[in-house]
Structure 1
Amino acid sequence: MNIKQIYETVAKSDYDFLREDRHLGNNIILLGLGGSHAYGTNTESSDLDIRGCALNSKRELLTNENFEQFVNEATDTTIYSFNKLISLLINVNPNTIELLGLRPDHYLSVSGIGKELLDNAHMFLSKKAVCSFGGYANQQLRRLDNKVVRLVNQEQREQHILNSINNAYYTFPERYSSFPEDSIKLYIDKSNQEEYDTEIFMDVNLHHYPLRDYKSMWSEMNNIVKDYSKIGKRNKNAIEKNKLGKHMMHLVRLYYMCFDILEKEQIITYREKEHDLLMGIRNGKYLDSNRQPIPEFFEMVGKLEKRLEYDKENTSLPDKPDYNKINEFVMSVNERVVKEET
């Protein structure tokens, strides 16, 4: 489906909700492609995903009426409210930050305020990308079937788990009571258990620390470990439907998009440079005759994880986004809505 066909499709009655829903219509400031069309990894059978942003109305801003997003599952369309989108962008959420980095011809509609948002995309970038993108990538990896994960050796598997925990741990200081950086140390060492060559250990030195906060942190880390031992129905279905290659492709794509953010301070959704690599993964280059990932795929992921660790220490991005600039922008936009100046 080329861009002309996409415009023609969105103009049809199936998408009338974009023009008629009270939350959308003239409130839409950004409308663009999502999914494989946005990444450049689409095939002839790929569904059309539409993503966008709509201003919160004057009524919503001045009352308790809450509108966060509009979803139309039949057309794979998701439109975020402006205030909701901002809250996600602040955390460099992969599913939304990509809306600010589409190819110009992949935007179906951009209003004046939408252009302001795109022009100020850099203010959302920070080291939080390490956690958000790295976390999403590791979630993708954890969703692989148990049989798949065991294709790597046990030590590598422990490293995957530790990387996932570290991505969650990165956000703990913001969400829980503060503690000295060296109070909780996680590392891999030789194991005394028969079924393990190595395993993850922890050194904890906390004093007068809230029990409930510690319980929540421990629960998050425990859930990550448990996830690696689950065989999810979703993953079985993905393997049965030969969609594992697509799943693996998106895992790799997340890393490369994060590298652009950390190394170039740019949001690049369309993966032209890695197109052949990504499509090769999608088409089964790294699957064996039983449709299982071969060890070379996990070796690739290991190298990507090391590059992410290097970027985390060497990026010039700040630890947190420019909250003051973001708040000023949000206030400016919402003030114009209330004054009916949009």
Structure 2
Amino acid sequence: MDIQNIRNKINSTEYDFLRKNKNLGDRIILLTTGGSYAYGTHVETSDTDIRGVAAERKEELLGLSNFEQFEDRVTDTVIYGLRKTINLALAGNPNILEMLGTREDHLLILTEEGKCLRDHADLFLSKRVIQSFGNYATAQLRRLQNALARDSYPQAVKEQHMLNSIQGQMHHFKQKYQQFMNEDIHLYIDKSNKEDYEAEIFMDINLKHYPLRDFKSIYSEMSNVVKDYSQLNHRNKKKDALKLNKHAMHLIRLLITGSEILQGKGIHTYRAAERDYLLEIRSGNFNYEEIFAAVDKLEAEFKYAAQNTVLPDEPNHKAAEELLICIYEKML
């Protein structure tokens, strides 16, 4: 499906919610492609993902109503409220930043306010993308690599891979959870008394007067890593091969996009230069040894970009707030 067909599709009755929902309609300031179409990695069977931003109504800004996002699962459409969009962008959320960097011919709706948002995308860029793009993608790829090699890796080595992934995730805890210090939770490998386990991950915790909800969230994030490893290690090879190839392709794409952002080249969601290569990965035309050899190179390039980036430690919150206020004033 080409872009013109997508334009025709969103004008059909299937997408009437875009025009009839009280939070959408003329409140939509940006509507664009998402997923594989936005990246240029779509195939004939790809879903048509639509992503957008809608400015909240007066009732949400001044009254008791609330609007954060609209989702229609039948059509794979997600439209975020403007305030949530700004907050997620400041956090370096890839889904939001990529929405601000789609190709111009992929813009299905773009108002003056939406253009203003896209034109100031650099306000949201900071070293936070090191975690949200690179560290996340690398951790996922190494987890995938571990699962694929599970037959040849000793159990203790698998456990070390899992620990590395959790520790990679812990780097952003200081930003996400107040009062958290890495030394408060010490993770390490030691001999296990469990049957079929040579070694396992243990932890020493030194927390006092710590918010229960923050600890619950930290535990949940670490638990999800363990759960993901378990799911990968019990997968059906034949059934999941295409899914794993697609997953690897998107993680590699994240590394490439993140490196460009750190190099100061802006956000380029559509991967024209790497499109054929990414589709080759998706199609299974590379074996996993070749894929992870490429990952080693891309990871090294990403680390170099992270070490030499001129991006600030934190995004420009004040300027982002002024942009948000400016857009609201125009629409009110």
TM-score (norm 1): 0.81
* Structure 1 portions without partners, runs of 5+: 288-293
Tell me the CA shift for residue 317 of structure 1: 0.9
For the 8 Å contact 1:142–1:227, the answer to whether it is kept is no
Tell me the CA shift for residue 61 of structure 1: 0.6
Alignment of 1:1-342 (within 5 A): 1-138=1-138, 140-141=140-141, 144=144, 147-150=147-150, 153=153, 160-178=161-179, 210=210, 212=212, 217=218, 220-231=221-232, 236=236, 239-240=239-240, 242-287=242-287, 294-337=288-331, 340=332
- CA-atom RMSD in angstroms: 3.4
Q: For the residues of structure 2 that align with 1:179 and 1:12, how far apart are their CA atoms? A: 50
- Relative distance call for 1:45 and 1:64 in structure 2 (3 A) is same
- Relative distance call for 1:224 and 1:315 in structure 2 (3 A) is same
More displaced 10-residue stretch of structure 1: 52-61 or 166-175:
166-175
Tell me the CA shift for residue 107 of structure 1: 0.5
Corresponding residue SS for 2:148: helix
Tell me the CA shift for residue 301 of structure 1: 2.4
- Relative distance call for 1:100 and 1:84 in structure 2 (3 A) is same
Q: For the residues of structure 2 that align with 1:201 and 1:306, how far apart are their CA atoms? A: 30
Question: Deviations along 1:176-224, whole A, 9 cap, x unmatched?
Answer: 344677777778x9x77799999889898x6967485667646644542
Tell me the CA shift for residue 136 of structure 1: 4.0
For the 8 Å contact 1:286–1:296, the answer to whether it is kept is yes
Q: For the residues of structure 2 that align with 1:157 and 1:312, how far apart are their CA atoms? A: 27
Tell me the CA shift for residue 307 of structure 1: 3.0
Identity among equivalent pairs (%): 44
Corresponding residue SS for 1:97: helix
2:301 maps to a residue whose letter is R
Q: For the residues of structure 2 that align with 1:268 and 1:223, how far apart are their CA atoms? A: 30
Aligned to 1:290: none
For the 8 Å contact 1:49–1:76, the answer to whether it is kept is yes
Q: For the residues of structure 2 that align with 1:101 and 1:182, how far apart are their CA atoms? A: 38
- Relative distance call for 1:232 and 1:49 in structure 2 (3 A) is farther
Q: For the residues of structure 2 that align with 1:108 and 1:98, how far apart are their CA atoms? A: 15
1:322 maps to a residue whose letter is N
Tell me the CA shift for residue 63 of structure 1: 1.4
Tell me the CA shift for residue 257 of structure 1: 1.0
For the 8 Å contact 1:151–1:295, the answer to whether it is kept is no
More displaced 10-residue stretch of structure 1: 309-318 or 268-277:
309-318
* Structure 2 portions without partners, runs of 5+: none
1:54 maps to a residue whose letter is A
Question: How many residues in Structure 1 have an aligned counterpart in Structure 2?
Answer: 328
Corresponding residue SS for 2:78: strand
Q: For the residues of structure 1 that align with 2:122 and 2:279, how far apart are their CA atoms? A: 29
- Relative distance call for 1:207 and 1:242 in structure 2 (3 A) is closer
- Relative distance call for 1:214 and 1:34 in structure 2 (3 A) is closer
For the 8 Å contact 1:51–1:79, the answer to whether it is kept is yes
Q: For the residues of structure 2 that align with 1:309 and 1:315, how far apart are their CA atoms? A: 10
Tell me the CA shift for residue 170 of structure 1: 2.3
1:44 maps to a residue whose letter is E
Question: Deviations along 1:48-85, whole A, 9 cap, x unmatched?
Answer: 11111110001111112111111112211111111111
Tell me the CA shift for residue 18 of structure 1: 1.0
Q: For the residues of structure 1 that align with 2:75 and 2:208, how far apart are their CA atoms? A: 52
Tell me the CA shift for residue 32 of structure 1: 0.6
Corresponding residue SS for 1:44: coil
1:303 maps to a residue whose letter is K
1:257 maps to a residue whose letter is T
TM-score (norm 2): 0.83
